[in-house]
Amino acid sequence: MNTITAAITAVGGYVPDFVLSNKVLETMVDTNDEWITTRTGIKERRILKDADKGTSYLAIKAAQDLIQKANIDPLEIDMVIMATATPDMMVASTGVYVATEIGAVNAFAYDLQAACSSFLYGMSTAAAYVQSGRYKKVLLIGADKMSSIVDYKDRATCIIFGDGAGAVLFEPNYEGLGLQDEYLRSDGVGRDFLKIPAGGSLIPPTEETVRNRQHNIMQDGKTVFKYAVTNMADASELILQRNNLTNQDVDWLVPHQANKRIIDATAGRLELEESKVLVNIERYGNTTSGTLPLVLADFEDKLKKGDNVIFAAFGGGFTWGSIYLKWAYDKK
């Protein structure tokens, strides 16, 4: 029996129509386009304005894009993993609802939350299910409606985040393509540096928590930046070393789109040419769980069968890691 590897065989993506540009943000908080661009690389981000639509809407749209482009029967999907930090609601799984809405009624589904590393962790999980031989088609969706937890009076966070979603399909591969190696880590020291203080079991919602804006995302930017730069670069470098890869062997770096300076630092550590680094942060900002699959959706034309692709991410908690994957197909 041939060894099973888990390969990405299709991708999809979705971003809302409304564009929140730096120029518009200048009218909302004390900031300016030059300051934002210089420090983050972000020019605009997409916002889901519909008050009655949540993260599930973004996820459904991205999944439907994948299903339509790849001509897949949703009934054949075995499971759906929903990577998100902004579920529609507590308890009732967003992934379960999404699976039903896209017609994947034969699949089981659940949510996975590891902040900005959610999709990266989800790749490991989806691949493991496929490699076990039990499941043939695993749909992994990364989606976040970050505008629902951003305080647009806090210039430290409102300039960073946007809404969006991406999806990939993992299937068995017998050519040695797909996920090759992973290095995933976490450290609870980050709990106080990037969080939403209230709304969980520790500090349940009250009038006071709402009044104090404790249901919005808060971060110590300098500390998060320091940890992200070090750990994303370290993880990526270790993956290369462990797999005897040089910078010449790497075809593409797919980094989490949190900050252009973090992306540049990771690429610099790997000594990669700028042309090998896939970046769309200037258009979407940080869509959290959506960043990695949105990069794949945007640059699918560039990816060729056999390409060595390095993924890297860092998120709250702290969570971080890197994955080495061999691309499995040429876009038709």
Give the model confidence (pLDDT) of 128-172 as tens digits: 999 999 999 999 999 999 999 999 999 889 999 999 999 999 999
C-alpha–C-alpha distance, residues 253 and 275, integer Å: 10
Question: Judging by DSSP bridges, how do beta strands 319-326 and 178-186 pair with one another?
Answer: antiparallel
What value does the mean pLDDT of the chain take? 96
What type of residue is 223? Answer: T
Q: Give the tens place of pLDDT for each residue, 255-276.
A: 999 999 999 999 999 999 999 9
Q: Are 59 and 174 in contact (CB under 8 A)?
A: no
- Say what the pTM is: 0.96
What is the mean predicted confidence (pLDDT) over 199-226? Answer: 94
- Residue 76's pLDDT is 98
Nearest to 111 by CA among 83, 144, 135, 134: 83
- Residue 221's pLDDT is 86
Query: pLDDT above 90 covers what percent of the chain?
Result: 98
- Residue 41's pLDDT is 96
Model confidence band, residue 48 (pLDDT cutoffs 50, 70, 90): very high
Q: How many residues does the chain have?
A: 332
The alpha-helical segments, DSSP class H, found in 159-290 are 207-211, 221-242, 260-269, 281-284
Beta strands in the chain (DSSP E): 5-14, 18-21, 44-47, 79-83, 108-112, 138-145, 163-173, 178-186, 194-195, 218-219, 252-255, 308-315, 319-326
1 pLDDT above the threshold of 70: no
Nearest to 243 by CA among 296, 184, 310: 310
Tokens (6 digits) for 257: 């789109």
Q: Which of 116, 216, 259, 308 is catalytic?
A: 116
Model confidence band, residue 2 (pLDDT cutoffs 50, 70, 90): confident
- Residue 213's pLDDT is 94
- Residue 217's pLDDT is 94
Instruction: Give how far Cα 170 sits from Cα of 128, 134, 177, 323, Å.
Output: 10, 13, 11, 14
Helices (H) then strands (E): counts for the chain: 11, 13
Q: How many CA atoms lie within 13 A of 330 on its CB side?
A: 4
What is the mean predicted confidence (pLDDT) over 117-138? Answer: 98
Q: Give the tens place of pLDDT for each residue, 3-12.
A: 999 999 999 9
C-alpha–C-alpha distance, residues 160 and 227, integer Å: 17
Q: Which of 173, 231, 256, 259 is catalytic?
A: 256
What is the mean predicted confidence (pLDDT) over 22-34? Answer: 94
- 158 has catalytic annotation: no
- 286 has catalytic annotation: yes
- Residue 332's pLDDT is 81
Model confidence band, residue 80 (pLDDT cutoffs 50, 70, 90): very high
- 244 has catalytic annotation: no
Nearest to 330 by CA among 303, 307, 292, 297: 303
Dihedral angle at the C-alpha atoms of 67, 178, 142, 162, nearest 10 degrees?
-110
Q: Which of 22, 231, 280, 286 is catalytic?
A: 286
Q: Are 173 and 318 in contact (CB under 8 A)?
A: no
Q: Give the tens place of pLDDT for each residue, 281-292.
A: 999 999 999 999
What is the mean predicted confidence (pLDDT) over 181-190? Answer: 96
Kindly state the DSSP code that residue 116 receives in the 8-state scheme: B
